[in-house]
């Protein structure tokens, strides 16, 4: 990436199907033959398998392309490693194979059976090398029947590259997919390994080196990465001996009326926990008593209307603001958002602050002029961006949305995607299902604004917040409620340091 979050050669870079093909071509142009790459791929799959399972009756399901060629190598090398009961089934005929796949088929000395649901009978280990990552049509016919039989079998399942039926770019299931316990991919992961439902179909994912030099990525310049502290950990502020609270930033959380203050309080506590030196919770005058009675280190303030909010934001040292949680889907919320966007502070817009602009995305985009982060869930995203969902999958939709408004977009979910206006995307894979409970999204937006208040840039702050959110949830485990997340955060921050 050319803006500093990660080197293009990082092991965390994710390659689209087209980018992986370009990497293969660049390696071959550099003198590595296609046959060498295919042999190394099959050998890597076998190593990953034999580390996990002792020899057992195995069937390798092969398709008509290069993924099938990898499968022929797997079958041959399994036999060479001492596995006696290895069968191979092929979709189509040996004669229809071309190039390196045909050469690998010719090197297989065993029987080749036609692919069908009966292919998996008696197998205790099933290897899927039917389609791989590049499939763009729905799986049907005999291939679909074979994958369904494989999924129903009492056997361990291994996918070569990406489970057949999963699109490597989007993670979408194309009609039916193979459901693996282990997916072995090559050189770099693909977005489909992390995006749902692909991530669930992949099982454990192992990346193996097949001899493609990292230097091929310099020309590809991948723009998508797996979210990880290696990307932004060095940018998370750490207080030093001379640090005082005013140097750690001042976050303002805008809450709602007296009957809807809880969401903003959750966000305020998270902003304080993640390191913002001061946090003020502000809302309508009639909410002041409620907020003050529930707050200790978080300060409270009130304002009446956007003009007063602008004055509150203009006070010294206030450098980040969050609007939306519990604010109400009203014109007043829209006016407050526009007032915040006119101020010089970094803005985070969540929940009602997004829904209030449903059908008025252009007005929101026109108002964004400084650092800004939007944190929608799927429903809020659809209401605000609509046609952006026509992108090729979640990552592409978030990327288009970020460009359209000039703001970083955090599209929440079990496969959270963070997209910057310049095209960078990080896909987060560490959010446990326990986060599916009320208030956790408010905590996440509080983490974002707390990091912005300390001076982190929007994309890095948002990526860090998403990872910390998942890490805190994992630390709590079953029984998690939103209030637990901020209390688990000190251990997460200690681990990062």
DSSP assignment of 75-94 equals: HHHHHHTT---EEEEESS-G
> Whole-angstrom Cα distance, residue 374 to residue 399?
12
pLDDT of residue 32: 97
Higher-confidence position of 209 and 314: 209
Are residues 179 and 257 located together in one domain of the fold? Answer: no
- Does 3 map to a domain? no
User: Would residue 7 count as lying in a domain?
Assistant: no
**Is 80 exceeded by the pLDDT of residue 316?**
no
pLDDT greater than 70 at residue 349: yes
The predicted model gives 162-172 an average pLDDT of 97
The pLDDT of residue 497 is above 70: yes
Whether residues 338 and 285 share a domain: the answer is yes
Name the residue among 415, 442, 106, 16 with its Cα closest to residue 253.
442
* Tens digits of residue pLDDT in 401-419: 999 999 999 999 999 999 9
Please give the average per-residue pLDDT across 359-380, as a whole number.
96
- Taking the whole predicted model, whether its pTM rises above 0.75 is answered as yes
Separation of alpha carbons 220 and 218, rounded Å: 6
Percent of the chain with pLDDT over 90: 90
Do residue 117 and residue 249 come from a single domain? no
Q: Is the C-alpha dihedral spanning 159, 45, 396, 225 positive or negative?
A: positive
- Single out the residue in 180, 199, 222 at which a domain terminates: 222
Q: What is the CATH number of the domain that holds 90?
A: 3.40.50.10260
CA 131/CA 63 separation, integer angstroms = 6
Which among 222, 251, 278 is the end of a domain? 222
Q: Residue 422 sits in a domain of what CATH number?
A: 3.40.1190.20
pLDDT at 1: 38
| Residues 233, 215 share a domain | no
The answer on 245 and 180 residing in a single domain is no
4 occurs within a structural domain: no
Choose the final residue of a domain: 171, 205, 222.
222
Range of the domain at 256: 229-496
Distance CA 105, CA 42 (A): 13
**283 and 306 share one domain:** yes
Mean pLDDT, the chain, whole residue set: 95
Task: Put residue 174 in one of left, alpha, beta given phi > 0 → left and psi -120 to 50 → alpha.
Answer: beta
Question: Quick one: pLDDT at residue 295?
Answer: 84
Residue 214 and residue 236 in one domain = no
The pLDDT of 359-369, averaged and rounded, is: 96
Pick the more confident residue, 291 or 308.
Answer: 308
Q: Does residue 6 sit within a domain?
A: no
Q: For residue 392, what pLDDT band results from cuts at 50, 70 and 90? A: confident
Alpha helices in 153-211 (DSSP H): 198-202
What pLDDT is attached to residue 449?
Answer: 98
Whether residues 149 and 240 fall in one domain: no
Nearest by Cα to 124 from 32, 201, 42, 54: 54
261 and 281: one domain?
Answer: yes
Query: Does residue 313 sit in the same domain as residue 462?
Result: yes
Domain total in the chain: 2
In-domain check, residue 233: yes
80 φ, ψ (degrees, to nearest 5)? -65, -30
């Amino acid at each position: 990436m050319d803006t500093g979050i990660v080197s293009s050669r990082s092991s965390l870079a994710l390659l689209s199907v087209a980018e992986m093909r370009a990497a293969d071509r660049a390696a071959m142009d550099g003198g590595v033959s296609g046959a060498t790459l295919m042999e190394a791929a099959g050998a890597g799959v076998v190593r990953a398998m034999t580390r996990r399972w002792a020899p057992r009756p195995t069937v390798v399901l092969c398709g008509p392309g290069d993924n099938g060629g990898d499968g022929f190598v797997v079958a041959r090398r399994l036999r060479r490693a001492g596995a006696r009961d290895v069968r191979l089934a092929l979709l189509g005929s040996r004669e229809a194979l071309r190039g390196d796949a045909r050469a690998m088929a010719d090197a297989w000395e065993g029987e080749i059976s036609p692919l069908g649901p009966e292919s998996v009978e008696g197998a205790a280990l099933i290897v899927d090398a039917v389609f791989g990552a590049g499939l763009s049509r729905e799986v049907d016919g005999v291939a679909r029947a074979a994958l369904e039989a494989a999924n129903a079998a009492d056997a361990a399942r291994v996918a070569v590259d990406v489970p057949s039926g999963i699109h490597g770019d989007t993670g979408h299931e194309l009609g039916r997919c193979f459901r693996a316990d282990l997916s072995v991919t090559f050189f770099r992961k693909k977005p489909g390994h992390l995006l749902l439902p692909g991530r669930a179909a992949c099982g454990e994912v192992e990346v193996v080196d097949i001899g493609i030099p990292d230097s091929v990525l310099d020309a590809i310049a991948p723009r998508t990465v797996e979210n990880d502290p290696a990307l932004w950990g060095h940018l998370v502020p750490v207080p030093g001996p001379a640090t005082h609270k005013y140097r750690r930033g001042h976050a303002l959380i805008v809450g709602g009326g007296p009957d809807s203050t809880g969401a903003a309080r959750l966000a305020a506590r998270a902003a304080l926990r993640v390191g913002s030196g001061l946090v003020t919770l502000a809302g309508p005058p009639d909410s002041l008593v409620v907020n003050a009675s529930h707050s200790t280190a978080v300060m409270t303030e009130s304002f009446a209307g956007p003009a007063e909010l602008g004055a509150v934001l203009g006070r010294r040292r206030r450098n980040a603001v969050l609007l939306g949680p519990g604010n109400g889907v009203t014109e007043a919320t829209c006016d407050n958002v526009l007032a915040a966007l006119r101020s010089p502070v970094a803005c985070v817009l969540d929940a009602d602050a997004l829904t209030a602009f449903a059908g008025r995305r252009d007005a929101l985009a026109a108002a964004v002029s400084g650092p800004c982060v939007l944190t929608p869930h799927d429903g809020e995203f659809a209401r605000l961006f609509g046609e952006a969902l026509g992108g090729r999958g979640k990552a592409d939709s978030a990327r288009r949305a970020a460009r359209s408004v000039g703001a970083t977009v955090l599209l929440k979910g079990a496969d959270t995607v963070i997209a910057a206006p310049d095209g960078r995307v990080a896909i987060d894979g560490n959010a446990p299902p326990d986060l599916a409970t009320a208030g956790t999204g408010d905590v996440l937006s509080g983490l974002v604004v707390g990091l912005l208040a300390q001076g982190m840039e929007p994309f890095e702050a948002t990526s860090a917040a998403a990872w910390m959110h998942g890490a805190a949830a994992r630390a709590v485990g079953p029984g998690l409620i939103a209030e637990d997340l901020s209390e688990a955060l000190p251990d997460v921050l200690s681990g990062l340091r």
